[in-house]
Structure 1
Amino acid sequence: MNVRAVEEAALAWVWDHRDRFALGDDALAADGQVNHTWKPLGELAQVCAAVSAGTPPSDPLHTRASDLLDFAWQQTRRGELFLLMQSLEPFASYPLEVYAAFASAGHRHTGYEASAAVVARTRGWRVTEQYPTRRLGVIEAERRSGLSPHGRVPQALGRTWLGGLPEPWTFERAAGYALTHVVFHLTEWGHDPQGVPADLADYLLHWLPPWLDTCLEARMWDLSCELLAVAASVPRPPDPAALEDAWHRVAAAQHVSGAIPEEGAVQDTAGAAGSAEPYAFTDCYHSTLMAAFAASLTTARLRDVNHVGQGVPR
């Protein structure tokens, strides 16, 4: 199974649809829909930052990811919009979380960082109500943005679903997305597998394969790709045969355009002339990004750790 082919096709689809990630006039509106403006842009930035960092500069995919990241940065007016958002919603965490993706790749705005640092020192910021996984993400966003984290990772981790080492049969969709993001935060989006504590690593080694199989059987492609990214991020990847089969199934779900639906039945991959847009953008952009992300981490694991035949498929 050629994992790289999945990554190439997914990034090609993202490139062809990059204008759909652009911020419109509603990005600063008081009643704007953040999930349709800043969220897609932030996810594009994070995935491209991770792919760019994990791919050799000589690789064409490094150039493509870097160009997409530059495109996303330009959408923020090179960081100026973060400063505006700070004044409009000083205690919203999502601007900092999006900014952290850019900052991790070297795109910084000193004015925004100074303003965010002032807010981050307030009691109001420290006691904002958040889900445990989100709080862990904010702590990591502060660190990546050069701010003093308002909490400690071990304490935040202990309050998450994964950190509690729950009964494996309690796994479901929400828990699945929570655990993947916990691992992403702990590993700097897959680039530091040793960031996963030993007890969590052992737990994931045992239970990640059946959870992944369950999601694939349910045709939950988006969550399956996130779990494959986790598999390439932990200190000891699961059984190679299980991952080989998972990648075959993800590849079969990928349309010839490169798009992968978030879930459900897939369109005919034979590639009829009229099937260039098989899914609505909102139904496939995140899963397609996650496929590129997971594939990039998988190929990087092969290259950098030389785990040929020891944890990730070719």
Structure 2
Amino acid sequence: MTKEGYKLGYEENEFENKTIEDIIKDYGKKQYEVRQSTQTPTINPIKDFNIENNEQLIVHFLASLFFRNGFHRLPAKVPESLLLDRDKYKNPKDQPTINIDDNLEFTEYLIRNLDAIFGLFPLEFNFTDEKGDKNKIKVPNISEALIEILGLLLGVQSNTDANIAIGMKTLVEAAKAGNASIIASDIARANAEYLGYKSKETQKEIPYSFTPNQTNLKDSLKDSKQKIVSFENVDKDNLTDDIKNILIAAQIIKAALVQPFNGADGFMTGDSIRDLKKDFQDKYNEEWESLLDYYANPNNANKPFKNAKIKDKSIPNNP
């Protein structure tokens, strides 16, 4: 047994093929009692040991650093990339693995995967606005990218709240406009039925302030002309011509049935004249009968001609 092996607590046959790393691992296992679990190796709290010499103190110190930094878990087998290609590998266990033998290799592996996850910075891209002008955008790091995104999201949230309020008011106004248009349409149809003019369906092109059936908002906001189904009057005459014909017929009827009455006093209809003539004839007949009775009645003591006989030869009036 060598002197060094004796100082470190090894038997001669145990110490011959030991490397420095093997010795550090052996001391570390005694200190921490590495416990293997189904997930990640864990360590118990450090135990108390009797240190007999400087060699053991140095090895215990190195073992603490070795285990506390996780070097005892090397070499380790890790996925080739932290970005799983799900189209290529349906099961994460099917992804290829690589071996990590030392801390520097692990640091390189970690930096390479972080670079793949975060992407290349600074980011540069061109943006074309609605006027067609091209602008170059540069994002130097993730922090500034997050600030820009957060600012845009806050603005979008504020605009979204305002748009929701505007949309609700627009729905109310649209409902009112729809009700008014239905009422106006019913009134127009009732007027058409009442007036009796003929109409037929026809296509009509009207201007719109938007373009339907577009795939993006920019094209949807363009002006367009669309065709709708409307109605047109197919009668040859119009209301003005019919009123003129009615007025002409009224003048003819007036000339035929209405006669002057006392000149400036106006006109009377034929029925009024007929009734007036009948009243006058009745009154005349009554006076005539009274006159005959006065002269021909033998019981009338006041008649001037007592022996006179009167015979009525007047023509009966039969209106």
TM-score by length of 1: 0.13
User: Between Structure 1 and Structure 2, which shows a larger proportion of helix residues?
Assistant: 1
User: Between Structure 1 and Structure 2, which shows a larger proportion of strand residues?
Assistant: 2
| Higher normalized contact order (CA 8 Å, seq sep 6+, divided by chain length) | 1
TM-score by length of 2: 0.13
Q: Which has the larger radius of gyration?
A: 2
